[in-house]
Amino acid sequence: MDRNSLIGFLLLALLFFGYFYYTKQGQMAYERKQQQIADSLSRLKPDTNNTAAITDEPVLNLDSLAKVQQHSALEGIVQDSLKGEEFHTVETRLVKVIFTNKGGQPSKVELKNFKTFDDKPLLIDNGEFNKISYSINSAANKTVETSDVYFDLADDATTVDQDGNHIVTYRLRTADGKQIEHRYKLAPDNYMIDFDIRLINGNGLFSDQVLRLNWDALATQKERGLDWETQQSHVSYVMNGEFDYENLAPGRKKEKEFVSQVDWVALNQQFFVNAIVAKDKFEGGSKILYATPKDTSLHIVATAKASMHLKVPQGNDVNIPMQLYYGPSDYKILKSYGNQMFNMVPLGTGVFAFVKYINRGFILPVFNALAKYISNYGLIIAIMTIIIRLLISPLTYQSYLSGAKMKLLRPEMDALKEKYKDDKQAFAMEQMKLYRSAGVNPVGGCIPALLQVPIFFALYSFFNSNIALRGKSFLWATDLSSYDSILNLPFNIPIYGAHVSLFTLLATVTSLLITIYGMSNMQDTGNPMMKYMPYFFPVMLLGFFNKMPSALTWYYTVSNLITLLIQFVIQTYIIDHEKVLAKLQENKLKPKKKNKWQERIEAMQRQNEKLKQMREKAESNRRK
């Protein structure tokens, strides 16, 4: 590790921390702006809590008024007055769905092949509030929300078609002969549920032929670290054919208005998704309000309330096709639907969004191929690390070769430093001449390292979003998708956390060993900052990596061990230092052709040298 390798190392560190600082600052600025807008709008709204002070008219209690209006509206609905809420359960190989006749919709959805971090049933929707509702014209000048009325479950309850699909149908009739059906089709091996709203003799049920659908989603904690799970969760959608997402802000409410057509909208947690899809697209003017509660004791990641508009086709008997997705954030599964839902898997976002192509095109296929034959995911990560290091070995070799050349030039550099110790500009000129005459690229050690940055960020995204690692144990780590802990602290250390991750400690120690080995071969610049700075970065990893998935810190540990081995082998057995030195001496004898950049640099240096001599001469004359 010569000076130029150190510069490359520091650039890597700056890029690494700069990326996260830039992302965090941009998100915070956006949140502050949105909060300012929300505060301004709230100040403009009239005070609805002080109605009595505005008028002397007696004010009817709003709750009572709502009940009177609701009772009046329900008179237009044909239903059993004694009917209460009833549930109907359907199970496939993947999901268990409990339907309710109140609103004719899913009440609870359990993913049978997954558990929460504390080994409880994993519910995508736990039935705490209604998921789907829309307003219909029940009678003259009267409307009612479908979530407030009881549907009739079809007489045959659940039917199974020839393909093994479970069909569940709920019906609602109005007094004037109109009928609404909610029809659900659950495939045996699919997380996507077909949901059709069928209107029979349905003219006049919707004002302006627009169905205003309210969709509510609740995401509860499913992973060990609530804060980290929240950071990895988003509200996602496809608008005007383009995928986009909104970050969740802890303790804040946000609103997104869709100015054009929307294919689907989703509340996607770190590893699980709750989404609604409109096959004929939601209309522009739809919007979604989403929030993350401040109270972490509620164990809620986020809530979302969407108001989505659907154009109702003309005709008495029409069908409005939609779909509901309750399932894992699995790239392969989501890609099979062909509607861009796979983009919800964050394999590369923000400034480094381009690394998703590395993940999709190389890392994910290699990982899946290894998983077909190896059941131990820790071993898979180790093998994948070796494969990656072998592929980038030419870059690694060039970096070490450049370092070896710089090391061999150290005696001549020391001589120049001693000769020009009081004239840094002259030393810089002679240093460049020495590099050029020996055929050494001064940035040869840092460029290969910089080319490895995309791979690091690709793996960072991959290990944070790959659901295949969830719940998989390795050594002392019980879940490779979460941090490993060998000791839980009774207090929280700022930045570091309240636990001790052994993989993080190993990654830090191996990073320090690499630094110590590299510094032993580095030319002493006499700059204390340059001397001790490389030791700061590995120590900083303690605070940054302690909350990261153990898969990432295990990868980093293996990668560091391979680096130490490669460093030793290349420096000891592969690079012939005598041949390299002989080549450097041979290069010095060859005529050198300067490129335009070198000519400009040398011209600037000569000009600066002349100016310096003129200043020294003028100063000497002034003293005389």
> For 269-347, where are the E strands, in sequence order?
272-291, 300-311, 318-328
Of all residues in the chain, the percent with pLDDT exceeding 70 is 68
Q: What is the pLDDT of residue 51?
A: 32
* Contact in structure between 514 and 560 (CB atoms under 8 Å): yes
Q: What CA–CA distance (Å, rounded) separates 408 from 577?
A: 8
Tell me, yes or no, whether 243 lies in a domain: yes
What angle in degrees, to the nearest 10, is found between the helix axes of 550-569 and 528-545? Answer: 140
The predicted model scores a pTM of 0.76
Q: What is the mean pLDDT of residues 384-388?
A: 90
Tell me, yes or no, whether 219 lies in a domain: yes
**Is 70 exceeded by the pLDDT of residue 31?**
no
* Per-residue model confidence as pLDDT tens digits over 278-294: 999 999 889 999 988 88
Number of structural domains, the chain? 1
Residue 49 pLDDT grade (very low, low, confident, very high; cuts 50, 70, 90) = very low
* Per-residue model confidence as pLDDT tens digits over 206-238: 888 889 999 999 999 999 888 888 888 999 999
Q: What CA–CA distance (Å, rounded) separates 428 from 434?
A: 10
**Is 70 exceeded by the pLDDT of residue 531?**
no
**Is 70 exceeded by the pLDDT of residue 511?**
yes
Q: What are phi and psi for residue 11, nearest 5 degrees?
A: -65, -40
Residue 404 pLDDT grade (very low, low, confident, very high; cuts 50, 70, 90) = low
Residue type, 258: F
* Per-residue model confidence as pLDDT tens digits over 447-505: 666 767 788 888 888 998 999 999 999 999 999 999 998 888 888 888 788 888 899 99
Q: How would you label 79-117 residue by residue, b for 16+ Cβ within 10 Å and e otherwise?
A: eeeeeeeeeeebebebbebbbbbbbbbbbbbbbeebeeb
Q: What is the pLDDT of residue 333?
A: 94
Tell me, yes or no, whether 226 lies in a domain: yes
* Contact in structure between 504 and 497 (CB atoms under 8 Å): no
Query: Average pLDDT over the chain, rounded to whole?
Result: 78
Which tokens is 413 given?
């550099």
Cβ atoms within 10 A of the Cβ of 502, count?
A: 18
Q: What is the mean pLDDT of residues 318-329?
A: 94
Q: What is the mean pLDDT of residues 565-584?
A: 67
Closest among 199, 217, 219 to 316, alpha carbons compared: 199
Q: What is the pLDDT of residue 351?
A: 77
Q: What are phi and psi for residue 239, nearest 5 degrees?
A: -120, 130
Which tokens is 141 given?
């000048």
* Contact in structure between 558 and 382 (CB atoms under 8 Å): yes
Residue type, 476: W
> Tokens 């979302």 sit at which residue?
304
**Is 50 exceeded by the pLDDT of residue 50?**
no
Q: What is the pLDDT of residue 60?
A: 34
* Contact in structure between 166 and 154 (CB atoms under 8 Å): no
Q: What is the mean pLDDT of residues 306-326?
A: 91
Residue type, 167: I
Tell me, yes or no, whether 559 lies in a domain: no
* Per-residue model confidence as pLDDT tens digits over 85-141: 889 999 999 999 999 999 999 999 999 999 999 889 999 876 666 689 998 887 667
Cβ atoms within 10 A of the Cβ of 430, count?
A: 18
* Contact in structure between 205 and 180 (CB atoms under 8 Å): yes
Q: What is the pLDDT of residue 121?
A: 92
**Is 50 exceeded by the pLDDT of residue 371?**
yes
Residue 244 pLDDT grade (very low, low, confident, very high; cuts 50, 70, 90) = very high
Closest among 319, 318, 308 to 275, alpha carbons compared: 308
- Residues ≥6 apart with Cβ < 8 Å to 139: 72, 73, 75, 76, 174, 175, 176
Closest among 316, 261, 303, 315 to 283, alpha carbons compared: 261
Q: Roughly how many angstroms between the first and final C-alpha of the chain, as a whole number?
A: 49
* Contact in structure between 56 and 278 (CB atoms under 8 Å): no
Tell me, yes or no, whether 596 lies in a domain: no
> What torsion do the CA atoms of 411, 412, 413, 415 make, to the nearest 10 degrees?
90
Q: What is the CATH number of the domain that holds 160?
A: 2.70.98.90
Length of the chain: 624
Q: Is 140 exposed, middle or buried (0-12, 13-18, 19+ CB in 10 A)?
A: exposed
Tell me, yes or no, whether 165 lies in a domain: yes
More confident residue, 345 or 613: 345
Cβ atoms within 10 A of the Cβ of 248, count?
A: 24
- Identify the domain containing residue 211 by its residue range: 83-345
How crowded is the C-beta side of 393, counted as CA atoms within 13 Å?
Answer: 14
* DSSP 3-state percent helix, strand, coil across the chain (nearest 5): 45, 25, 25
Tell me, yes or no, whether 325 lies in a domain: yes
Residue 59 pLDDT grade (very low, low, confident, very high; cuts 50, 70, 90) = very low
**Is 80 exceeded by the pLDDT of residue 401?**
no
Q: What is the mean pLDDT of residues 376-387?
A: 93
Q: What CA–CA distance (Å, rounded) separates 349 from 22?
A: 13
Tell me, yes or no, whether 474 lies in a domain: no
> What torsion do the CA atoms of 557, 559, 561, 564 make, to the nearest 10 degrees?
-140
Q: What CA–CA distance (Å, rounded) separates 304 from 290?
A: 4
Element (H, E) at 247: strand 242-247
